[in-house]
Structure 1
Amino acid sequence: MTAARTRLAGVGTALPGDPVDNTALALRLGISAEWVEAFIGTRTRHFALDLASGAVRWSLEDLCTDAADRALADADADPEDVGFLVLATATPDALMPTTAALVADRLGIDQVPAYQLQSGCSGAVQALALGSSLLSAQGRGGKPLGLVIGGDVCSKHLDLAQDFRELPPAQLVNYVLFGDGAGAVVLSGESGTGRRARLAAADHWLSGLGRTPGQRVEWFGAADRHSGRPAVTEDYKAVERQVPVMAREVLDTLLATLGWTSESLGHVLPPQLGGRMTERITRTLRQGLEWEEVSCVAETGNNGNALVFCQLQRLLPRLGAQGRAVGIAIESSKWIKAGFAVEATT
């Protein structure tokens, strides 16, 4: 568990284009808007490509750079104050160079470490944990700030030429659940200026020993790109069974480790799979308590590693002088549990 003396100095997000509602998405894919609303519960999402033509309008690099720019502006900070950059994604623009290095170049950041974590939804929490550790390790001689970014462009798997009406629901869900976006936070030390909040904890735990992966995303090279394997597969029923239970385990672990009571929580940031699933998870977590849920997925779609930052952007203005919040992310690929805690500071 990363016990952090880390302040959240600034936050920024970037969502590409106008929101795409269920009617527009269903019309383009030739499916039922009512099915999307009833089964997924997500009302809108954003795509980095133009839904009409299929033309790509934003890269992951573009979105991450925009989010980082906004986080730096929110922290009233300059790129030369950044001592390291960590970027989490499951959908890099290329294998090399890393998106992290390209974003650093766009921002004018040089001569500092730039890390890229390849992970699904838990990657954003992994990046926060790594960023907090790096900030602590820099010592007095290091630059005062760290930049942590998460983002995904899931629409790269959206093949608009295929007949979506022929897909079974288990495959179709992957094309209506996800969206695109990026988010970033600026981290500072305990004595740093910025928002009146600190990252009290951030960690993740592998929980997939002996379990079949719940999701697989392929990488195809020149030799196997025509193998016939689907690019994305997901066991949505396993996700439905496992994620609420695992989310509760993360909440209990964080509270026990920090010595917080359930009653002391003002806000919970639940896993953001889809609108309907998030409602189900929240019911499992709440157990009669009166904390406020901080969710965004019904409006943003599941944009992977951007979600935690979109939630944080909504949380920080609501946190209050004595506020406490816990955030949870569950990655179904090999069943990774991740969580973090935020506490108001004076």
Structure 2
Amino acid sequence: MYRSVVRGVGSYLPEKIMTNDDLSQIVDTSDEWIRKRTGIERRHIAADDEFTNDLAVAAAERALAAADMSAADIDLVILATTTPDNTFPATAAKVQARLGVTKGPAFDVQAVCSGFIFAMTQADNMLRLGQAKRALVIGAEIYSRILDWEDRSTCVLFGDGSGAIVLEAVDSEGANNERGVLTTILGTDGANYDKLYVDGGVATSGNAGCVRMAGQDVFRQAVARMSESVEEALEKAELTKDDLDWLVPHQANIRIIEQVGKKLGVSRDKVMITVQEHANTSAATVPLAMTHGVKHGHFKEGDVIALTAMGGGFTWGAIVLRW
């Protein structure tokens, strides 16, 4: 029996910063309005010559360094992204080549803001089945290129960035007091397909399109789905909310984050919050928040940590792991 253990994390944010005041120069909004409703203070914007594979490679290299591993140690690369470099091949293939990984598969996962949870779950399944030994799981997005910069209901919410983790399969007896991924939960409700989507695509319009969102519906569903999936994952791991040391939620909006923490009974000082620094980076927010937690020494060995997200589709999921 194998269990997936986190060996290293890393993240990358583009150099260019767009503040709320900068946004107020191009759309009818203000720093006060954005902070009050979202908690966002700034977002990072990829340079014109920067692509999703560039962001992914930068985060991956940092995760490998943190794990004290090299490309030769990796035999699985999974990239969660909504903004691939090309329609095909998978951007993960380019990332694999640039990193110098020569073993195993590399592929993309598309579940929007839940993408990293889906990708990490896929990696965990493959490691537990012995199909790989060490996996590089990445979330990387350039949302600035699929935003309508005249729509203040969406353009103020998103940014560009990436995060990555290295997972390793280790021998396990299956006990919940052992380190590693304990449980994973995934869900999709296609009936809400048009609540959060991009109004373009290869088959429908031939162009990338822009993000469109029914904000109130997304808010309600995000709070419910994220909190419920964490509860389900804890129960599956034979743990309770009282066992939870850290909640690492998708960084979409401070009000969603606070409501999820409240529903789960997790005190605010145990909820990882980084949305103010980079806004909603979709599939990258969870690994960005994980990297923040490691960098600041928040996670201690043996801590029970819940990761959760909800995205367009709707998709959602949660992962409970012991650090």
Alignment-derived partner of residue 98 in structure 1: 90
Contact 2:111–2:315 (Cα < 8 Å) also in 1: no
Residue in 2 aligned with 1:71? 63
Q: Which letter does structure 1 place at the counterpart of 2:142?
A: V
TM-score (norm: length of structure 2): 0.89
Larger Rg: 1
- Quote the Cα distance in structure 2 between the aligned partners of 1:4 and 1:293: 29
TM-superposed CA distance for 1:291, in Å, is: 6.5
1:85 maps to which of 77, 82, 88: 77
Q: 1:18 offset after TM fit, Å?
A: 4.1
Determine if contact 2:2/2:127 at 8 Å carries over to the other structure.
no
Instruction: Say which is worse superposed, 176-185 or 241-250, in terms of deviation.
Output: 241-250
> Which amino acid letter does the alignment assign opposite residue 39 of structure 1?
R
Report the CA distance shift for 1:313/1:223 in structure 2 as closer, same or farther (over 3 A).
closer
Q: Which residue pairs with 2:304 in the alignment?
A: 324
Tell me how far 1:294 sits from its aligned partner.
0.8
Identify the match of residue 312 of structure 1 among 284, 290, 303.
290
Distance in 2 (CA, whole Å) between partners of 1:119 and 1:145 is: 22
Among 190, 193, 216, the alignment partner of 2:197 is: 216
Partner of 1:52: none
Answer yes or no: is the 8 Å Cα contact 2:39–2:254 preserved in 1.
Answer: yes
Query: Which residue is equivalent to 2:136?
Result: 147
- Report the counterpart of residue 188 of structure 1 in structure 2: 168
**Contact 1:4 1:200 (8 Å CA) reproduced:** no
* 2:13 corresponds to 1:15: yes
Q: Distance in 2 between matches of 1:325 and 1:4?
A: 19
**CA positional deviation for 1:182:** 0.8
- 3-state DSSP class of the match of 1:155? helix
Aligned equivalents of 1:112, 1:329: Cα separation in 2: 28
Q: How far, CA to CA, are the matches of 2:107 and 2:72 in structure 1?
A: 17
Partner SS, residue 318 of structure 1? coil
Q: What amino acid sits opposite 1:218 in the alignment? A: D
Please state how far the C-alpha of 1:111 moved relative to its aligned partner: 4.2
> Does 1:294 find its partner at 2:272?
yes
- Measured in 2, the distance between the counterparts of 1:221 and 1:214 equals 20
Matched, 1:338 2:320: no
Structure-1 separation of matches of 2:83 and 2:136: 19
CA separation of 1:197 and 1:26: change in aligned 2, threshold 3 A: farther
Correspondence list, 1:223-238, <5 A: 224-225=205-206, 231-238=210-217
Structure 2 match to 1:168: none
Give the corresponding residue for 2:175: none
- Seen in structure 2, the aligned counterparts of structure 1 residues 157 and 249 have a Cα distance that, compared at 3 Å, is same
Residue of structure 1 aligned with 2:256, choices 264, 270, 277: 277
Q: Output the CA distance in 2 between the equivalents of 1:178 and 1:211.
A: 21
Q: 1:278: Cα distance to partner?
A: 2.1
Matched position secondary structure for 2:217: helix
Identify if the C-alpha distance between structure 1 residues 4 and 138 changes in structure 2 by more than 3 Å, giving closer, same or farther: closer
Per the alignment, residue 52 of structure 2 pairs with 60
CA distance in 2, matches of 1:335, 1:222: 20
- What's the RMSD between the two structures over aligned residues? 2.5
CA distance in 1, matches of 2:264, 2:322: 19
CA distances 1:29-59 after superposition (whole Å, capped 9, x unpaired): 453232222222211111114xxxxxx1421
Q: Distance in 2 between matches of 1:212 and 1:116?
A: 20
User: Who is 2:32 aligned against?
Assistant: 34
Relative to structure 1, the CA distance from residue 27 to residue 128 in structure 2 (aligned partners, 3 Å threshold; closer, same or farther) is same
Give the drift of 1:323.
1.3
Does the CA-based 8 Å contact 1:269-1:294 persist in structure 2? Answer: yes
Size of the aligned set, in residue pairs, is 316
Q: 2:292 & 2:71 partners in 1: Cα distance?
A: 24
Shift of residue 154 of structure 1? 0.1
Letter in 2 for 1:315: G
Q: Structure 1 length normalisation: TM-score?
A: 0.83
The answer for the alignment partner of 2:4 in structure 1 is: 6
Unaligned runs of 5+ in 2: 173-177
Question: Retained in 2: the 8 A contact 1:247–1:285?
Answer: no
